[in-house]
Structure 1
């Protein structure tokens, strides 16, 4: 409080940010006070989105300071920004790209009218039902993880839950190219921060390259690739490891290795239930037991490698791997899962 006026809840001084050789922000100052509403206006490339992303922890400034509630925030992350009450809704211009300005305004008026005409009782009932479903899902997740901890060997649920615990508070990003285990991984990671989980779309064998791109875009955040052993075999592993080392892009690669190309096996059964494989029991191309230990492919590059086949060894191995990544070395943990 100064001279009877409230203190700024958010203060920006001298913030600069460049991408390559292009300056997005230069010596930006901004004060936001309680109860104020501001509009950032400018031409494309003026730095509006960049400033919002810096304030919400998506990007780090190259220079200057950001203060929230009077405290300087260095290395602000999305998760910490949200805890401090700063969050952003990413722009999605394509949602109304086909509408004129007048049509957009009319749509907004209709949405506002609907908001005024909401049936509060029905809304309360829907919210309560959703909260019950959410509570039931969390209970089911807890039960599944308890069962996984008691299972023999390394259950894939345990791998996802352990990663979640180790990444808690670290502002990590998970790039997922598991196929058989994809729903399981997403369910037990329980990610809720923006840009914290990406599932690889568009074709098998792109996971490592996508993870490298994510690391290039977010160099200060730990990036984890979760990948099945079948998908791993489709990736350009050698070239990607070379790129990771040459360009300083350390990743943690966690292989969910069940020693079978299970998604292909399931598709064989689905499309050819009475085929030759079903008759002979010989599912060509799906047995991966003969592959060498997958972590070994990283050894010639001087990377941190581990193979895990017991539950007790899982968390310590992942901790060591994350430590290596934090120190600038890619780590590969080949986890021999039970299913």
Structure 2
């Protein structure tokens, strides 16, 4: 059974295959998500570029965006054939792009359409179909809208929903502002778990570390971490021990970098530029002496023509690599 006790959110321009491989070096058990991919792109685009991933990334879920049941279900089938462990429907992204396409957070206004989409997806694939939503959009009252939305999802056969604990404002706020400006309402998400005990309720939004994660797990089934997992990725290094009951050594930051180098070298041999990978590891040494020098060296040198993994090795020599604070749970 797929575990969703802890996951890293789908994040546009961030959670590509290189980022997911890197995060997998930090945690073996955390569920990882792709960036949102539109159903039309999956059907008509370069599937290997859009959907390709490394076997080491498992467990990994594909997030789709779309509003036509036949199209989204066909994209789900294609994703399942690629080997993804879960197919997730985006009902939370507030960008102008998704508004013009009538999907993402717009779908909070059309729960019956969402039901038709997920029902079609479930018929097309054998892997779990899940939904990620907001508390509501625009002038909707979350305490009315969210329970009704979850009830509709339950009736459609959805057993797992991730709730970003903010409303989305489709007018007046940018996508970036929608990630921070609308106030968080964790309590409402906790209430939804009590109201829908048979559903798996995952909470998302503003969660920064494993202490906060553990506190939320007293109320809900799982926690999805977003920007903190990208900006300060070393917070994930104790997830397997603290959240999944493992008892294994904790690698240092330097250990993680050295484990990433063979992957980076292999990808470069396939034509992937170094900066496409090193941009994801800039935050690894956040809070450690030398972190600024690490970021600067990678940012300035990984983009140069012919840059190879020696750039990363040079950057690593500029930072302290303290031993982990703990070695087992």
**Shorter-chain TM-score tier:** under 0.3
Scaled by the length of structure 1, the TM-score of the pair is 0.26
Structure with the larger RCO, 1 or 2 (CA within 8 Å, 6+ apart): 2
Q: Name whichever structure is richer in strand by fraction.
A: 1
Scaled by the length of structure 2, the TM-score of the pair is 0.27
Q: Which protein shows a greater Rg? A: 1
